[in-house]
Amino acid sequence: PPRVSEHVAHRQSVRLGRTIKLTCPVEGDPPPLIMWTKDGRNIHSGWSRFRVLQHALRVKEVETEDAGTYVCKATNGFGSVNINYTLIVI
């Protein structure tokens, strides 16, 4: 199953209007498919300030309502692993 390949800081703070990148350092064989959610909702291309990268989620021009719980879920045929983040907007 996929596994987390490095230590992550689960609490992240960012200043209003800045850009933040939440990493999803997972590896597996076969390489896992990565999905991001915020407060239980899937993040997709319609979220204009959010960009799902290969192993990270980038949020630009952070707004107050971007604070919340983010989860990176990595899945392959052998299982899945979640990385949870709490984002605090200052």
Note the pLDDT tens digit of each residue in 7-28: 999 999 999 999 999 999 999 9
pLDDT at 77 over 90: yes
What gap in Å lies between CA 84 and CA 77, rounded to an integer? Answer: 21
pLDDT at 34 over 90: yes
For residue 16, the model assigns a pLDDT of 98
For residue 88, the model assigns a pLDDT of 98
Query: Each residue of 27-57: b (16+ CB within 10 Å) or e?
Result: ebeeebebbbbbeeeebeeebeebebeeebb
For residue 45, the model assigns a pLDDT of 87
pTM, full prediction: 0.94
